């Protein structure tokens, strides 16, 4: 029997085709894994990606699980985990949408306290971000729009009110203290601006807001001082004297009591310093 020998080039072509088909089959199988795994295996795969900080892969697996299995315990837990993965993957809009939908859909879920906490965290990191906090640029923080900080404060407040014994409540309350001080300082910054521009009614309103809403914030003394100066600017001497007495009683070391021109406008040099917050 005679064996026909194929030219070397033909052998190479045949091998290339076979390898290409095998590779396509292998990649096709890998690509379709999320569409074929049972719910428990798919959840384990997503959770494993989450544990190894592969947040993009985790998000994709959780999303596929939610789409393929639209109800049940795995679906509910996957929604929580998906929101966390999106949050860690720096996708705050997606994370907020996911966790907000979970809270509205499962308001009595056994882990809804965590959902409120996570929603608070998402908003907490949306104003300025972690780098500013790492560098302790609180002054710059207090000169940004405070919408997300207000939402974060409300989320942590809701968690503390509804779930006082939750494992997340202690941390939420600490963050609320931080946010309270940031929000109070923001109002003080605005009040100072109005005061420097002799808009005394506006500066008084901002100072009064701090006194009424952030009583335990360290900025309350500043608010009383600005309110005193605002009353003087409006030629309301009796109100100014009463407010100054309250300031002296509660904050005897406040600089305004020794310097009636406090607070002073920031220097031009200070304004020129990057990230000083005085712009």
pLDDT higher than 60, residue 255: yes
Query: What band does 66 get if pLDDT is binned at 50, 70 and 90?
Result: very high
Query: What band does 142 get if pLDDT is binned at 50, 70 and 90?
Result: very low
Give all domains of the chain, ordered by start, each with its CATH number.
35-107 (1.25.40.10)
215-239 mean pLDDT:
97
Mean pLDDT, rounded, of the chain? 85
pLDDT higher than 80, residue 116: yes
pLDDT at 279: 41
pLDDT at 127: 72
pLDDT higher than 80, residue 154: yes
pLDDT at 140: 47
pLDDT higher than 50, residue 173: yes
Tokens coding 177: 């203290």
């Amino acid at each position: 029997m005679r064996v026909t020998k194929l030219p070397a080039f033909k052998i190479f072509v045949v091998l290339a085709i076979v390898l290409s088909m095998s590779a396509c089959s292998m990649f096709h199988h890998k690509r379709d894994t999320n569409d074929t795994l049972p719910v428990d295996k798919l959840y384990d795969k997503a959770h494993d990606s989450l544990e190894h900080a592969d947040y993009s892969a985790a998000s994709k697996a959780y999303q596929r699980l939610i789409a393929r299995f639209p109800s049940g315990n795995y679906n509910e837990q996957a929604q929580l985990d998906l929101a966390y993965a999106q949050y860690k993957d720096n996708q705050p809009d997606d994370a907020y949408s996911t966790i907000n939908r979970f809270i509205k859909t499962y308001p009595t879920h056994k882990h809804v306290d965590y959902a409120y906490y996570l929603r608070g965290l998402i908003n907490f990191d949306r104003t300025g971000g972690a780098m500013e906090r790492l560098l302790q640029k609180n002054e710059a923080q207090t000169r940004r729009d405070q919408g997300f900080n207000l939402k974060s404060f409300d989320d942590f407040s809701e968690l503390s009110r509804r779930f006082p014994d939750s494992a997340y409540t202690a941390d939420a309350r600490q963050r609320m203290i931080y946010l309270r001080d940031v929000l109070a300082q923001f109002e003080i910054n605005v009040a100072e601006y109005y005061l420097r521009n002799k808009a005394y009614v506006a500066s008084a309103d901002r100072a009064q807001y701090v006194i009424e809403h952030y009583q335990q914030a360290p900025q309350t003394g500043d608010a009383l001082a600005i309110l005193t100066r605002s009353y003087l600017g409006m030629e309301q001497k009796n109100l100014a004297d009463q407010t100054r007495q309250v300031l002296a009683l509660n904050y005897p070391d406040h600089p305004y009591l020794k310097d009636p021109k406090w607070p002073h406008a920031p220097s031009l040099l200070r304004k020129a310093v990057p990230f000083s917050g005085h712009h």
